[in-house]
């Protein structure tokens, strides 16, 4: 069964305009769509603003003249500011959510030649997110304008899996990212490899806190650094990788190390100190053995993670720092929460993406490739 062609687009207040009979000499994107003899547009959903009602009615009449079988539905969309991304996206989203799409019987072409640049971007996003279940439609004028010359059009399918060359490049990039996180070690344990695949997807798509659990020696610190380096290679972070083992933070020095201090805040504070959280601004902060952190420091950390600001020791003025937090522990923080050693609200905040890394003892099939990797590295370093 042949599906009907439905175009969804904005009326072009400039490109679709024209006066008198001379307008037929001009290339108009919306009109051009119904002038292709080999393609029937069964229906148009045309967005327009009330103040351009006259132009909209002219377009309806001209479309009927060029293609009597094409049905045009004018969709009034009055925005306070058509260049405001939030307002434009919300308007298209609301329309798409209420529209009765029928992909089994209709195919949808989202026209991106007309409308403001913001409208075109939002239309792209609607199709990319499948709120509009169709493809993009781009029109172009003919080299020589004249009556009846519709120019050309191109349909762009955003399902990149349909493009073999692009799919191969994405698959290659994915494989390279996995190898990077595993330091090039061809691990064999299926559960571990699946775990690294999920971590890779999260690492390049999310800025939310990540919690790495597992026994000492499982590679939590190394993996955290590799995640940072992967994000850095994708231009997702501009700052540094900052790490500290919380088991080494004791007494008054713990808060100072993490949050910094002002000169004179305590005995020995002879100068201002930025602290690790400020040093990690626009980067990644890795707090290993976070279960060893004191309750007071936990409260300060919670505020810093949630609000991106905190008070250095001895200061009455908050400072800002925006970083991604990765934490590590070999303890069961749920037990620590139940026993009052770890704040429940902080645990809830860092427990968004949690991964338990198995040690080599739990994946013996990976011992050999790890040994081979170490031997190759040693040979390279010693020449």
Which pLDDT belongs to residue 182? 75
Listed residues 142, 158, 174: the one ending a domain? 158
Is there a single domain that holds both residue 138 and residue 211?
no
Is there a single domain that holds both residue 239 and residue 357?
yes
Is there a single domain that holds both residue 244 and residue 365?
yes
Nearest Cα neighbor of 49 from 109, 91, 21 is 91
Which pLDDT belongs to residue 324? 95
Listed residues 158, 193, 215: the one ending a domain? 158
Is there a single domain that holds both residue 108 and residue 181?
no
Phi first, then psi, for residue 289 (nearest 5°) are 50, 50
Is there a single domain that holds both residue 65 and residue 112?
yes
Is there a single domain that holds both residue 204 and residue 146?
no
What DSSP assignment string belongs to 225-246? HHHHHHHHHTT---S-EEEEEG
Instruction: List all residues 6 or more positions away from 90 whose beta carbon is below 8 Å from its beta carbon.
Output: none
CA distance 283 to 354: 20
What SS3 class is residue 152? strand
Is there a single domain that holds both residue 77 and residue 197?
no
Give the H or E element holding residue 180.
Answer: helix 164-181
Which pLDDT belongs to residue 380? 72
Nearest Cα neighbor of 288 from 210, 374, 226, 382 is 210
Which pLDDT belongs to residue 170? 63
Is there a single domain that holds both residue 25 and residue 135?
yes
Listed residues 138, 158, 178: the one ending a domain? 158
Is there a single domain that holds both residue 103 and residue 199?
no
* CATH code, domain carrying 308: 3.40.50.300
Q: What is the dihedral of CA 371, 376, 382, 383, to 10 degrees?
A: 160
* CATH code, domain carrying 122: 3.40.50.10770
Is there a single domain that holds both residue 107 and residue 12?
yes
Is there a single domain that holds both residue 60 and residue 24?
yes
Is there a single domain that holds both residue 95 and residue 116?
yes
| Domains in the chain, number | 2
Over its length of 383 residues, how does the chain's per-residue pLDDT go in tens digits?
789 999 999 999 999 998 888 898 899 999 999 999 889 999 999 999 999 999 999 999 999 999 999 999 999 999 999 999 999 999 999 999 999 999 999 999 999 999 999 999 999 999 988 899 999 999 999 988 767 689 999 999 887 566 566 567 666 776 777 777 777 777 778 888 888 888 888 888 889 999 999 998 888 999 999 999 989 988 888 999 999 999 999 877 898 999 988 887 787 777 888 899 999 999 999 999 999 999 999 999 999 999 999 999 888 899 999 999 999 999 999 999 999 999 999 999 999 999 998 877 778 887 787 787 677 777 677 76
Question: Tokens 């490049």 belong to which residue?
Answer: 169
Spell out where the chain has E strands: 4-10, 43-48, 71-76, 106-111, 134-140, 152-156, 210-213, 241-245, 284-288, 309-310, 319-320, 324-329, 353-356
CA distance 119 to 52: 17
**Domain, as residue range, for 48:** 4-158
């Amino acid at each position: 069964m042949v599906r009907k062609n439905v175009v969804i687009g904005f009326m072009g207040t400039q490109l679709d305009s024209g006066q008198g009979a001379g307008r037929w000499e001009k290339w108009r994107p919306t009109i051009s769509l119904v002038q292709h003899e080999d393609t029937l547009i069964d229906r148009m959903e045309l967005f327009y603003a009330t103040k351009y009602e006259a132009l909209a009615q002219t377009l309806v009449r001209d479309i009927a003249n060029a293609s009597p079988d094409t049905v045009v539905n004018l969709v009034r969309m009055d925005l306070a500011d058509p260049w405001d991304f939030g307002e434009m996206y919300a308007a298209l989203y609301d329309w798409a959510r209420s529209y009765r799409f029928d992909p089994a019987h209709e195919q949808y072409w989202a026209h991106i030649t007309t409308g403001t640049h913001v409208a075109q971007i939002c239309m792209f996003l609607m199709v990319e997110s499948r709120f509009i279940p169709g493809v993009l439609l781009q029109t172009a004028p003919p080299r020589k304008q004249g009556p009846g010359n519709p120019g050309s059009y191109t349909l762009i399918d955003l399902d990149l899996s349909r493009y073999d060359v692009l799919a191969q490049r994405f698959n290659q990039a994915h494989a390279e990212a996995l190898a990077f996180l595993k330091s090039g070690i061809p691990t064999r344990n299926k559960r571990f490899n699946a775990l690294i695949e999920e971590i890779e997807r999260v690492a390049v798509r999310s800025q939310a806190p990540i919690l790495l659990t597992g026994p000492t020696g499982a590679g939590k610190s190394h993996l955290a650094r590799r995640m940072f380096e992967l994000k850095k290679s994708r231009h997702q972070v501009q700052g540094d990788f900052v790490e500290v083992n919380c088991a080494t933070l004791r007494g008054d020095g713990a808060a100072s190390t993490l949050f910094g201090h002002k000169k004179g805040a305590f005995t020995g504070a002879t100068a201002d100190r930025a602290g690790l959280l400020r040093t990690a601004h626009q980067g990644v902060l890795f707090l290993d053995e976070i279960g060893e952190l004191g309750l007071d420091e936990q409260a300060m950390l919670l505020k810093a993670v949630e609000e991106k600001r905190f008070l250095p020791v001895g200061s009455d003025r908050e400072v800002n720092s925006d970083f991604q937090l990765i934490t590590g522990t070999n303890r069961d923080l749920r037990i620590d929460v139940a026993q009052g050693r770890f704040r429940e609200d902080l645990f809830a905040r860092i427990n968004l993406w949690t991964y338990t890394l198995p040690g080599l003892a739990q994946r013996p099939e990976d011992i050999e490739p790890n040994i081979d990797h170490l031997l190759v590295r040693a040979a390279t370093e010693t020449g």
